[in-house]
Structure 1
Amino acid sequence: MIKVAVVFHSAGGTTRQLATAVVAGAATVQGVTVMQAEIAGADISAGRFRNNPLLEQLDSADAIVFGSPTYMGSVSAQFKAFADATSERWEQQLWANKIAAGFTIGSNFSGDQLHTLQYLQILANQQGMLWAGLDLPGNHNAAGLNRLGAQSGVIAQSADGLLNETDLLSARYLGQRVAQLSKRFAA
C-alpha cells in the first residue's frame, strides 16, 4: 500500500480547502492511503515545531505534499517552523527518494506565490526528495486546470476567502498525479 501525506498550514481556511482537494485526488488512486496533517499553533513552542509523532508519520510516507499560504512572498512562519524541524530528517536523509509536491494560495494574482513553491521545492530537494510539478500547460485543457499557469505546483488565488473551483480541481489533479507517480516509482 502506497502512503501519501499532505502536510500544510492554513490560517484562514483556504489552504485547508486546497489540502482537502489534494487528499481527495490522491484517494482516487487504488492502492493508496492518504494522511492529512495540519500544522497547528499548538505544535509550535518558543518558535520551534514540536510534534515528533507527526514527523515520524511522515517518515513512513512514500510521498509528501507540502502546502502553505503565501505571506510576504514565502511560506507562513508556522510552516517555516515545521520545515526547520525537519533538519534532523535531512541529516539522516530519511525522506530521500520520496515523491514531493506543493501548493500555495495568495490574495493577489502575482503575490510572489511562485517563490513559495520554490521554497517548498528547495525543502524537498534538501531532503533528497523527487519533485513532481504539474504536467498541465496553464489553461490549455478542456477543464481549464492550472488556471494561473504554474508548472511547479498548484498556485491558487483568493482575495475574499472563496476559492475558484478550477483551483480546487487543479489541487485534486495534483493529488492524483502524486499518488500515481508514487505507485509507478514504487514498482
Structure 2
Amino acid sequence: MQVAILFDSGFGHTAKQAEAAAAGVESVKGVKARLFAIADGDIDWEALEASDAIIFGSPTYNGSVSARFKAVMEQSTRTAWLPQKWRNKVAAGFTNSGAMHGDKLNSLITMALFAAQHGMIWVGLDLFPGKGPEERNRVGGWLGAMAQSNDESPELSPIKSDLETAAYLGARVAEITRQLLTSAH
C-alpha cells in the first residue's frame, strides 16, 4: 500500500510537515509513503494515480493555498479529474502559516473541496485540541493538520507538537486506507 504526499513548501516549514506525515504513514506496518514536492517540477500523475491515498499539503499564504499548489489543482483537470482517476481514494491535508490562525482553515477547505471534486474520501483529525504548545493539535484543527511557524529556520519551527500532529494524520490516513482496502476485498 502506498500513500502519496503531494505538497508545496515556500521556505521549508511545510516540507517538515510533509516529512512528519510520511513518518506517520510509515509507522503503519506495510504502508509506504512517497513525497511529491511541487517545487521540484513536473508532477508524476501516474504515480499519484497508483497511490492508494493522497495527502495534500500547502503553506497558507494570504488566507489560501500557495499559487504553485493552486496551479497543480488546475493541471489535474485533464490528467486526473476528467477521467476520475482519484475517485474513491482517501485524501487528507495539512497546512502551515506564520500566524497562529492565519486563515489556515480556508486552505484546508480548499483542499477538501478539491478532493471532493475528484470523488475522494476526506479524512480529518480526531484529536481534541491541545491545551498547550507541547500537545498535539495545539492549533485546534479538525479538517486537517495545522501548524504555525515563526519567521526562522525550518530546523526551529514548526515545533515538535505540530510535527507530531502531522505524523498522527499520516498514520490515521494509512490506517483508514488499509481498512477501506481490506473491506473492499
Common fold, TM-score beyond 0.5? yes
The residue type equivalent to 2:166 in the other structure is A
Identity within the alignment, %? 42
Task: Provide the residue aligned with 2:49 in structure 1.
Answer: 59
Aligned with 1:111 (options 102, 112, 136): 102
* Partners of 2:177 and 2:92 in 1: CA distance: 11
The residue type equivalent to 2:60 in the other structure is T
1:160 Cα shift? 2.3
The residue type equivalent to 1:68 in the other structure is S
Task: Provide the residue aligned with 2:21 in structure 1.
Answer: 22
Task: Provide the residue aligned with 1:46 in structure 2.
Answer: none
Task: Provide the residue aligned with 1:126 in structure 2.
Answer: 117
* Partners of 2:23 and 2:101 in 1: CA distance: 27
SS in structure 2 at match of 1:103: strand
Question: Normalized against structure 2, the TM-score is what?
Answer: 0.91
Runs (5+) with no aligned partner, structure 2? none
Written as runs of structure 1 = structure 2, the 5 A alignment for 1:1-187 is 2-40=1-39, 43=41, 51=42, 54-88=44-78, 89-139=80-130, 144-161=135-152, 162-187=157-182
- Cα deviation 1:100-136 (Å, max 9, x = unaligned): 0000000111111000000000010000000000011
Q: RMSD of the alignment, in Å?
A: 1.4
* Structure 1 stretches of at least 4 aligned residues deviating more than 3 Å after TM superposition: none
1:159 Cα shift? 2.0
Question: Normalized against structure 1, the TM-score is what?
Answer: 0.91
* Partners of 1:39 and 1:75 in 2: CA distance: 12
The residue type equivalent to 2:18 in the other structure is A
SS in structure 1 at match of 2:129: coil
